[in-house]
A and B are shown apart, each in its own frame.
Chain A
Amino acid sequence: MKLELGHIHISDIQIAPESKIENGVLYVSEEAVKEIVLEDEKLKSVALDVAKPGESVRITPVKDVIEPRVKVEGSGGVFPGVISKVDTVGGGKTYALKGMAVVTAGKIVGFQEGIIDMTGPGAEYTPFSKLNNLVMVIDPIDNIKQHEYEKAVRFAGFKVAAYIGELARGLTPDETFEYETYTIKEGLEKFPELPRVAYVQMLQSQGLLHDTYVYGVDAKRTLSTILNPTEVMDGAIVSGNCVSACDKNTTYHHLNNPVIQDLFEQHGKTLNFVCQIITNENVYLADKQRSSDWTAKMCKLLDLDGVVVSQEGFGNPDTDLIMNCKKIEAEGVKTVIITDEYAGRDGKSQSLADADPAADAVVTGGNANQVIILPKLDKVIGTMDYITKIAGASDETLRADGSLEVELQVITGATNETGFNKLSAR
């Protein structure tokens, strides 16, 4: 399957009477966005704001970050099974608006988390500080259930991202990249000498605020399965995950999965990128066993030589990670796993909640317990009301000078386990 991905660079976002993209500037009509968001009767209001790199702005509590895209050729549309029909995507041509994102924010539960600082030390840890962010702070109607609110905000993000992506349909991309994977037989004929490599992506799937959707299906009710890696570039996997800001995968991470990009970079040169395998991280232990058994079984069936495994979230996924690693290695398939660490504030505790000698090749996204001081910023988009109620923040969080003492955990994407960042630890 082959996908052409056209990049359209967005250098600025402005709120304007009419939505359009001109000379790399995105103009957004607040009216139009409001209309889209408030279509959902569960939502009462939406406040639109723009946060640019370097500005003294803090966005919190962040729910999701989404890159607008539009499918211009080929079957299906972006976010299949969610916004578009469930047709298989990943072929044809897609445009992506680079350098920007739609950020949804809103207090879904009282301990909601996720900070994006656009400047200062915090900005170094989140990739989203480098983007022009169109932020939507979304409030629900009264007496709404949390899961309804979560769903409404999740959909509002995708709808607005799709709406903005649509503005690019008639444009000419600044750059175009091609991604192509081959069928089993084709791949063997084309690259007989190259090691066969796949990407095993673990998806958070545990309940409210901990879910991921694949073509609209709740991942916890799925068996491990195979995707063309280009499918995720069209939004086949979206985030419903609001907890563990530092190491959850936002929809932006899924769309721009760095393991997929870096495997494609080597594809046909040093390795044959065969496919992506997705597997879940359920609460029920027998599910963990089944899913990891299936993952290992597919690795064997596909005659793979190696895989990169990425994790999502904290704690019990360590068990899934080690199960996957151990079982895949036992099939004679080499693994490298990507995780992050909770080694305590002093860095001295055991980093993972599980371990096995088979996991001899580990990439880490850093210690999420590391303490960081975030200075007071001029403007807050969202609310600071709950800042002490977020993971890794404590009652000493808000200091006298207005700065915050927090753990990296609270920063959106800080220790991401798809290897999105340069942060590491030793």
Chain B
Amino acid sequence: MLKEYTEQIREVAKRLLKDKVVDCVIGYRKGTVPMLDAPYIAYTEEEADNLIWSSFCVSNLAKFLIGRKGKSAIVAQGCISRSIVNLINENQVKRENVYIIGVWSPGMVDRRKVLEKFYDKEILEVEEDGDELIVKGKDFEGKEFEERISKNEVKRDNCFTCMHRNAVIYDEFVGEKGEETGGGNIDNVAAPWEKLSFDERWEAFRETFGSCIRCYACRNVCPLCYCSVCFVDESKPQWCGKTQDEADIFTFHILRAFHCAGRCVDCGACESACPMGIKVRRLTSKLEKDVRELYGYVPGLEIGAKPPLAVYRPDDPENFITP
């Protein structure tokens, strides 16, 4: 846990609740399982003591603003604040109904990468210590172990290439602003399949999404997915079959990603939520790159910005057109 941040978030939350500035504070709490810190909504000062800030805050809290009545405070690092900007621009959330507690993200840890590292052991506890994680547990013979690993080794992919670690809008910022970028170059990794041959790309796509069990955690965790009826749930007409057939699964993923084009802020919540560990961002980050390169647009940075698919310029690239 990033202790000082945690303390300050609690302090701010208590003040806001006490002064009745907001009805609730949407933040994170400690998980009941190592590395599974989870969304939490505090309504009272006592409950505010459950709020934390850690390297395992991977869910997108902006989701919980959709449809919420009254005024809420929300803990927001860069990507969450950008999601809020999106929701404001898409008329899902009113700016005056949100009190944004801005915070800096250290870059979140990919729990699966840690589990992978200790694949033959049972992890019982994970502590944070600066740039390191202290992983404790036991092996199958019951022998205990304790090991330090660098957080950098197990950071989520999207946090490596993040360009906005500090909240982009906020009513109050907690702690010092930190390093703005994750250090990685998004263009090197955004669309890894571009390097592959045509057939290899299809194989990579199949390999990546083939294990989907259609639980829709990726969709349901995503603050962009607020349609009252998702296309995949429509029955008149039914756009997409309900089976485990590859074509049904892939249609869902291609279309869902496409619906996020020009809107996705690459928060990585979809990947973190996927119980099967599917690299869901393979599609969204490609679209994000295209939107950036073709139309010079980066979503979630400016309230009032016109969404890139709702406008055009006469000089837009036209090579997709059959002449």
- Whether both chains belong to one complex is answered with no
